[in-house]
Structure formats: C-alpha cells, structure tokens
Amino acid sequence: MSLIILDRDGVINADSDRFIKSPEEWVPIPGSLTAISRLNQAGYRVVVATNQSGIARGLFDLATLNAIHQKMIDTISQQGGFIEAIFFCPHAREARCQCRKPGTGLFEEISQRYNMPLTGVPAIGDSLRDLVAADKMQAQPILVLTGKGKKTLEAGELPPTTQIHDNLHEAVKALLGKR
C-alpha cells in the first residue's frame, strides 16, 4: 500500500487568512473529496499534515479542532474516502518548534508511524512551507494552485523537484495516471 501526505487548508478545504475556527467554516474545495476517495481506491493510505497555530493563538481549542477534523472525516466518508491519520502542529511560528512546517517534525512522525522513509512519497500542499518540509524529507513536493498556491508559485523559490497542478483533483489524476 502506498502513502500520500496532504496539507489540509487550501488543499482539501477552502483556506482563510482568518483561520478555520469552527466546523461550519470548514468547506471542501470542489473535487477534493472525490480525489481522496480515488486515492483510497487506488491503494493509497491518505494522511494529513497540517499547521494549526490557531490553537496557540487562542482562536480555537483542541476540542474544536477535533470537531473540525470529524466533520472533514465524515464528509470525506460520504464520498467513499478515508483519512487514515491526521498529524498537526498546534504551535505558533514564534515557538520555533520542529513540528511546524517547514520544520520536518510532522513528516518525521509520519515516517516513524508507518515505519518507512518518505523518499518519493507524494506530499501535496499549497504553501512553500509544505513543499520545503516535503523536500527536506526527500518526499515528492506537489504544489496545488488552490488556497495560497498561486501566491506560492508567483513568489518562486520552489524546491526544484516540485510538481504543479491546478488542484487536488488534478494532482491525483496525474499521480494515478502514472500507476
């Protein structure tokens, strides 16, 4: 079984500069849920690695984050998909922790949990920090142009092996076309 790592906000669901602070604010990006379902059907273990500094900022608590994630899991399930695990960093940038992307802590935890190196594992994100964390772990960085993706592309400085797709649906289509 193959593994794939997805960022949450801007990849699976619409992003907000004001943070996703409640289950009601979690709105899937069109096509993302069926893309996850397609990954599952193709034998992928789908995991999410997400920075959630809203906890450190006091914008929401762990119970609310769990409720947001439960809504995501339930909504994906209704489309026949499944998220196997969610890894998150609750710290603010100022904490300078290793788990906050572009640090590699979340990716290291995924590697340990699945007892495998992440070399070549697709890692899909919409921000430079997602791509840099993936690149540091030798995973395959994939940029989607949803969320902050267009700004990330315009800013440049992407890891040299970065693949670029319009959205999660198109990234999955390209990935599964290679199998």
Q: Kindly list the domain boundaries of the chain, sorted by start residue.
A: 2-177
Q: Which of 70, 8, 14, 82 is nearest to 42 (CA)?
A: 82
Please identify which of the residues 9, 126, 130, 135 carries the catalytic annotation.
Answer: 9
What's this model's pTM, rounded to 2 decimal places?
A: 0.96
Mean pLDDT of 6-11: 98
The pLDDT value given to residue 135: 98
Q: Which CATH architecture has domain 2-177?
A: 3-Layer(aba) Sandwich (3.40)
d(CA 48, CA 7): 6
Residues 57-108 have pLDDT tens digits of 999 999 999 999 999 999 999 999 999 999 999 999 899 999 999 999 999 9
The pLDDT value given to residue 156: 87
Query: Is the pLDDT at 27 greater than 60, yes or no?
Result: yes
Residues 106-151 have pLDDT tens digits of 999 999 999 999 999 999 999 999 999 999 999 999 999 999 999 9
The pLDDT value given to residue 179: 56
9 is catalytic: yes
61 is catalytic: no
The pLDDT value given to residue 125: 98
d(CA 74, CA 7): 18
The pLDDT value given to residue 77: 97
